[in-house]
Amino acid sequence: MSVPAAYLAVVLIWSTTPLAVKWSGEGPGFLLGALGRMGLAALLCLALVAVLRMELPWHRRARQTYLSGALGAFGAMLCVYWAAQYVPSGLIAVLFGLSPLVTTLLARPLLGERAFTPARLAGLALGLAGLMVIFGAGLNLGPHAAAGLVGLCAAVMLHSLSLVLVKRYGAELPSFTVTSGALVVVTPLFFATWLALDGHAPPQLPPRALASIVYLGIIGSVVGFTLFFYVVKKVPAHTSALITLITPILALLLGTAINHEHVGPRIWAGTALVLGGLAMHQWGGWFGRLIPARVAASPDLPPGP
């Protein structure tokens, strides 16, 4: 596959995933929507492992790696699907743009990496300022919007912690193997959670919710993950980092145009601060000079929901 086509596909997938997450919970509930996505993705990954005769090891280091990946695939996604009920879909992509900043923050105590530079500290400050502006604007989005934003922040923390732990235990496994192992672990957890907290399957799924679950399970998870890793290996770090700058803007525009979500000027201002902080963190140069910065944790799991 051509690299530009793969790059464009990743941008489109990550831009549409937040809206699909929101739609997948309409009717069946957010827990069944998450279970359907993860279950379908797990079945597809296991089918590919069998057809391609790939190895899915279960030695101690592999299990530690899968569990580390499962922290993001279960904990973070559970928070995302719950929060999507109360906040505009585009804000999911915006707040996940903070993941590289949080990952760098966690890598210092957990990996012993000295990743702080003046530019990265400035980027972190900009990101936090943007988060505060978004929280202020979120008070006008609805009675539960603030709780939804807290849930998204928890998701970002869990996702970033998952990335750092995957690197810490690093079982020298291919990214697809880590993804498959993590999905095998989390699918029963999602089923048990749905059974305990809901357990009621609707007689039939609304067409839009069903289509969203299928899209997320196949395109948003397996295809998106595979293409993302392909792009990361083929293009320079600063080029792949642009994905996290483009997708939040597209996600906000899609939510506004297709789902009629209200996004006021304060949210756009907060988004600009978050993305400015991310750009400062990723490239770090002063006076407009772009100097690619190495992200603290390797992207064994993709940076989006």
Residues 6+ apart with CB under 8 A from 189: 70, 74
Please indicate, yes or no, if residue 292 is contained in any of the structural domains. Answer: no
Q: Is the pLDDT assigned to residue 36 strictly greater than 60? A: yes
Please indicate, yes or no, if residue 297 is contained in any of the structural domains. Answer: no
How many angstroms separate the CA atoms of 102 and 32, rounded? 29
**Digit-coded pLDDT (tens) for 121-131:** 787 788 888 88
Among 60-64, 127-131, 291-295, whose mean pLDDT is lowest? Answer: 291-295
Identify the band that residue 114 occupies on the pLDDT scale cut at 50, 70 and 90: low
The confidence score (pLDDT) of residue 190 equals 96
Please indicate, yes or no, if residue 80 is contained in any of the structural domains. Answer: yes
pLDDT above 70: percentage of residues in the chain: 86
Closest CA to 42 of 178, 227, 142, 187: 187
- Could you tell me what percentage of the chain is helix, strand and coil, using 3-state DSSP and rounding each to the nearest 5? 75, 0, 25
Q: What is the mean pLDDT of residues 88-100?
A: 86
CA-to-CA dists, residue 279 to 102, 142, 239, 285, 291, angstroms: 14, 30, 12, 10, 11
Q: Is the pLDDT assigned to residue 108 strictly greater than 60? A: yes
Please indicate, yes or no, if residue 90 is contained in any of the structural domains. Answer: yes
CB-CB contact of 192 with 12 (8 Å): no
Q: Is the pLDDT assigned to residue 291 strictly greater than 60? A: no
Q: Is the pLDDT assigned to residue 171 strictly greater than 70? A: no
Long-range contacts of 190-199 (CB under 8 A, 24+ apart): 190/31, 190/34, 190/35, 190/38, 190/39, 190/74, 190/78, 191/35, 191/39, 193/31, 193/35, 193/78, 194/31, 194/32, 194/34, 194/35, 197/31, 198/29, 198/31, 198/32
How many angstroms separate the CA atoms of 159 and 102, rounded? 9
How many angstroms separate the CA atoms of 210 and 1, rounded? 29
Query: Which of 105-109, 126-130, 211-215, 228-232 holds the top average pLDDT?
Result: 211-215
- How many independent structural domains does the chain possess? 1
Q: Is the pLDDT assigned to residue 290 strictly greater than 60? A: no
Residue type, 302: P
Domain that holds residue 260: 3-283
Residues 6+ apart with CB under 8 A from 216: 17, 20, 21, 24, 37, 41
102 compared with 215, residue with greater pLDDT? 215
Identify the band that residue 90 occupies on the pLDDT scale cut at 50, 70 and 90: confident
The confidence score (pLDDT) of residue 243 equals 78
Mean pLDDT of the chain, nearest integer: 83
The confidence score (pLDDT) of residue 184 equals 92
Identify the band that residue 297 occupies on the pLDDT scale cut at 50, 70 and 90: very low
Model pTM score: 0.85
Please indicate, yes or no, if residue 291 is contained in any of the structural domains. Answer: no
Please indicate, yes or no, if residue 305 is contained in any of the structural domains. Answer: no
Please indicate, yes or no, if residue 293 is contained in any of the structural domains. Answer: no
CB-CB contact of 162 with 107 (8 Å): no
DSSP state of 222: I
The confidence score (pLDDT) of residue 39 equals 94
> H or E element: which one contains 213?
helix 207-215
Q: What is the mean pLDDT of residues 113-118?
A: 66
Q: What is the mean pLDDT of residues 253-273?
A: 88
Q: Is the pLDDT assigned to residue 13 strictly greater than 60? A: yes
Identify the band that residue 286 occupies on the pLDDT scale cut at 50, 70 and 90: very low
Q: Is the pLDDT assigned to residue 302 strictly greater than 80? A: no
The confidence score (pLDDT) of residue 141 equals 74
Please indicate, yes or no, if residue 203 is contained in any of the structural domains. Answer: yes
